[in-house]
Amino acid sequence: MRAKLCRFRRNGGVMLGVLGRLIGLDRRTARRAYLVGDRDRLRAYSDALPAQKIAGRSFDTVGAMLEAANGYAPDLTFIDLGLGVAAAREAIAGLAPLHKRGTVQLVAPVKIESYEQIGAVGRLRLEGDKRGLRMPQALQPPHDGAAIRKLSLELGFCRADGGGKPAVTLNQAMRKNWLELWYQPKIDLATKRLVGAEGLIRVRHPRHGTMFPGSFLPGAAEADMLKMTEQVILTALRDWEDLSANGASVRLAVNAPVCAFTRLPLTAMLREQRPRSTRWPGLIIEVTEDEIINDLQIASEVAAELRAHHCTLAIDDLGAGYASLARLKRLPFSELKIDRSYVMNCNRNAHNSGLCETIVELSHRFGLKTVAEGIETHHESHKLQALGCDVGQGYLFAKPMPKEQFVALLRRRVVRNQDQAEAITGERSLHGFSPRFGTRA
């Protein structure tokens, strides 16, 4: 028995391939994940890998994992932070030369609640980013295999309906003119007025109906992503004209990858295609913190050019890496968006509440507006307002909607505001105020 066990260990790679084929994984084509650290803690993730057609292999030490990685580099590596920060750094440094763009998923043994823990995780993610690795947000207890499904979709390892290829590719959607820009309203938390909207991409498929980004973006080529970004920006500029014609002059925001700053003629696009109306409030381009932190110089140069055309930047998904905020204050950002994972339950979760408060305080110190994403309850909204957060968006206020519905929503709000203004004007006129000068703008 001992001899058989030794042969199994010596031929671990062969046995992994055999087991993989038994559960439907081809070693030549299957994705590979390595998990290093406490096996019980990581078991939920290792057990969930085969369902996503990912072959998993567990290790007790970073050294053993790196030895195996030198022979066959993994697509995805889970690092148990229970091994310590030094071990995580060793793993990141050892994996970086083996990958062009591999993914390292940090796994926290306990909830990340103290600012020291948040800072340590943020620095590890930043270090991995600088070395060319993908560094998603750390997984925290309770450890659930469902996170593997979400991670697989985000990394393009699988499609939303479970097949090997996307049912619809981004390239196909653009060629067929199935892409649409939907809008989710942004609400002033103090006045509850609609003050803007974020443009979100959707596909309207003739057979599948409305499809979300997880169904067609994973695995998209960079050239297609850039083409989509250009289409989104130009669409938002045209759509503002329709919104303005209905009496609303809200500021729109769109998302863009940092590579668009150097690969797309953004300045020329805005100069030539921007609305000429003096009422146009400008455009906001949202970039994620993970991306922008590695290209601060490029972002600074492009942002300065864009500002001349009434376009500013917003940092999206600000969260565990907020310790880098001091480096970002040099850029002409207009907004900081608090990641929804920290907005969730902020009214009763001390960790989330403290982090939101810190981000709001720092952003106001730098003269920036804060936007909270993913607000779903009145309790969260009231707590964020009490903390001084400026703007919110989420299902509590409205889901993303097609442009036609958004125009109709704005039209109703304009009519309601006019009725309220007339009622206020009439009441003040009865008290001797001039209807023209007695109302507040």
Q: What is the mean pLDDT of the chain?
A: 80
Classify domain 2-155 at the CATH topology level.
Answer: Rossmann fold (3.40.50)
Q: Give 114's pLDDT tier (boundaries 50, 70, 90).
A: confident
Helix, strand, coil in percent for the chain, rounding step 5: 50, 20, 35
Mean pLDDT in residue range 271-287: 92
Q: How many CA atoms lie within 13 A of 401 on its CB side?
A: 17
Q: What is the mean pLDDT of residues 340-354?
A: 88
Q: Is the pLDDT of residue 9 over 60?
A: no
Q: What is the DSSP string of 245-288?
A: HTT--PEEEEE--TTHHHHS-HHHHHHHHS---TT---EEEEEE
Residue type, 346: C
Return phi, psi of residue 377, to 5°.
-130, 155
Comparison of pLDDT for 305 and 290, the residue scoring more: 305
Measured CA to CA, the distance from residue 85 to residue 243 in angstroms comes to: 51
Whether the Cβ atoms of residue 368 and residue 331 lie closer than 8 Å to each other: no
The one-character DSSP state at 138 is P
Residue 369, strand partner residues: 335
Give residue 71's pLDDT.
79
Q: Which value, in Å, is the radius of gyration of the alpha carbons in the chain?
A: 25
Question: What residues contact 303, with CB distance under 8 A and at least 6 apart?
Answer: 312, 313, 331, 332, 333
DSSP β-bridge partners for residue 251: 196
How many Å apart are CA 217 and CA 156, to the nearest integer?
A: 8
Distance CA 91, CA 61 (A): 10
Residue-wise pLDDT for 51-65, tens only, equals: 777 889 999 999 999
393: helix, coil or strand? coil
Cα separations (Å) of 190 from 146, 198, 420? 37, 19, 18
Does the structure show a pLDDT above 90 at 398?
Answer: yes
The residue among 209, 208, 213, 200 whose CA lies nearest residue 170 is: 213
Is residue 207 pLDDT above 70, yes or no?
A: yes
- Chain centroid to CA 403: 22
Architecture of domain 170-401: Alpha-Beta Barrel (3.20)
Burial degree of 309 (CB within 10 A; 0-12, 13-18, 19+): middle
Reported as type and span, the H/E element at residue 65 is helix 62-71
* Structure confidence by residue, pLDDT tens digits, 38-47: 999 999 898 8
Alpha helices by DSSP H, 177-257:
213-216, 222-245
Domain ranges of the chain: 2-155, 170-401
274 within 8 A of 233, measured Cβ to Cβ: no
Cβ-proximal residues to 138 (8 Å cutoff; 6+ apart), any chain: 81, 105, 106, 107, 108, 112, 121, 125, 320
- Return the pLDDT at 118: 82
Residue 437 pLDDT exceeds 50: no
Angle (CA) 223 229 231, round 5°: 105
Global pTM reads 0.64
